[in-house]
Amino acid sequence: MAYFMGIDAGTSGVKAAVIDEKGNVAAVGYEECDIITPRPGWVEQNPESWWEVCGKAVKQAVVKSGAGEQIEGIGFSGQMQGCVLMGKDGKAIGNCLIWLDQRSAPQVKEIEEQMREEEMLSITGSYCLNSYWAPKLLWIKENRQSDFEMADSVLFPKDYLRFRMTGEIATEVSDASLSFLLDVPKRKWSDTIVKRLGIPSHLLPKRLAESQEIVGYLRRSVAEEWGMNPGIPVVAGGGDQPAGGVGMGIVEEGMIGSTIGTSGVIFGCTNQPFVDRQKRAIMSMCHSVPDKWCFLGLALASGGSFKWIRDTLFAEKKAEMAAKGLDVYDFMTELAGKVKPGSEGLTFLPYFNGDKTPINDENARAVFFGLSYRHALGAICRSVMEGVTFSLRETIEICREKGMQVTEVRAAGGGAKSALWRQIQADIYHAKVVTTNMEESGCGAGAIMAAVGTGYFKNIKEGCEAMLSIRNITEPIAENVKIYDEYYETYRNLYPALKESYGRQAEIVAKYFV
């Protein structure tokens, strides 16, 4: 039996899974990560902490599986858009500005002044967003000049972990797509943009691979600590959304996926770069499948919204249930299931740290609208699940506007594990929601890529066919669809009514922030 390891380096934590060639998960390890918020809109993480929790997660999976010496390859899925500056000594310089960070909005405006709209779209497939590498690097250059001058290269989060494992500096095309420095149609760095913005070309990794390519081998010291064989091939892996697409089997044009993790994403596969000429923060990328492209609409705080509810309103219950070996999320979902669709008019906007698709507003903040004495904790839980799903429907409607027939959505993440949340998605999306045997789609993608890279399968499609199978289909309920359509209109009307107030509130917060 051949085994492969998939590592999913997420925002909330790092997960590692040992998976065999038939898609059976032998064991999973997981350790949480902390985020750092030094001021409003700034969100960072310490790269060294990723490495520590990665090691713990991998060792958990290896010990539980008992198959450490049978692992034949390692692959990755990783949070995208994080900017890790690396020094010549091979150490990270300061914290990583992760995808949630909003500080580089002024630099986006600088970039927009230097580039024509058509030029942006033809090279990158997207408008510039403040979460991308280019504006972040310009912010660092302008505000932390000494750090910028010390930098020898820049890496995405998963690439940093792979560097620690192999000693090799490299990245790949799916993550690089959201740097705003990649020529997405040509799948190579854009000399035009690099020169135009004055970003030193030496910072960009010279090795720019496809996701399934081997880019290094496991160091002996790391292998011995983790209980694995030294020299195991390590493939490039992919950004979490393109990789997650592989983990859900979304590898052909027209297929759509919905992932509710810390963030929420609607993801689609295409044969050519997908370009939305309206400024709705649709991100266009190279897929983790060679010769395929993809796109995503991003909601910044989806599962993160549910986690916030857990850690604030259910903190004591969380500790109580954890002591019994139970998950408080199950308790919260049970409460939500007792509430009727629409939460009796309680509508939630999941904008804890701004939002991307389609509003692209760093000043937006979360709102509960319609709260009354009749609403208890169950309604609050359900309204969060519904509000998150409404936010993802906005991207699905863009797909339909572009002529795509969305009748089936493949689901992953926490929102796929809950039967209630799958039903809410089906009812709000107007589409059947499908899950596969691979609940850990990020880890599954890493394992599939590793299996392809080491020659076990000839390509990604063959790997998906061998390791993935349909597990569950949730059909929309007509009566619920009608109810949600009406509440969706309420949801859609709230942001335009609040937009001006969001901007003014941000000014006041900045004025009095100490």
Find the helix or strand (DSSP H, E) in which 496 lies.
Answer: helix 478-512
Q: Give the tokens for residue 255.
A: 């297929």
Which DSSP string do the residues of 49-77 spell out, in sequence order?
Answer: HHHHHHHHHHHHHHHHHT-GGGEEEEEEE
Q: Are 17 and 443 in contact (CB under 8 A)?
A: yes
Could you say which of 8, 240, 355, 361 is catalytic? 240
Strand partners, 151: 87
Instruction: Please tell me the distance from the alpha carbon of residue 280 to that of residue 269, in angstroms, as a whole number.
Output: 18
| DSSP class of 261 | S
Instruction: Please tell me the distance from the alpha carbon of residue 19 to that of residue 25, in angstroms, as a whole number.
Output: 4
Q: How large is the C-alpha radius of gyration of the chain?
A: 22
240 is catalytic: yes
Counting every residue written for the chain, the total comes to 514
| Helix/strand/coil for 150 | helix
- Among 222, 234, 226, 219, CA closest to 62: 226
Three-state SS letters, 110-131:
HHHHHCCHHHHHHHHCCCCCCC
Q: Give the tokens for residue 265.
A: 């994403």
Q: Are 349 and 367 in contact (CB under 8 A)?
A: yes
What torsion, rounded to 10 degrees, do the Cα atoms 49, 66, 448, 475 define?
A: -90
Q: Are 200 and 137 in contact (CB under 8 A)?
A: no
| DSSP class of 85 | E
Instruction: Please tell me the distance from the alpha carbon of residue 70 to that of residue 479, in angstroms, as a whole number.
Output: 51
C-beta atoms surrounding 388 within 10 Å: 28
Q: Give the tokens for residue 389.
A: 């799903």
Find the helix or strand (DSSP H, E) in which 385 lies.
Answer: helix 377-401
Q: Are 483 and 449 in contact (CB under 8 A)?
A: no
Tell me the residue ranges of DSSP E strands in 133-253: 151-155, 171-172, 182-183, 188-189, 208-209, 214-217, 233-235, 238-239
What's CA 86's distance to the chain center, in Å? 22
Catalytic residues: 240
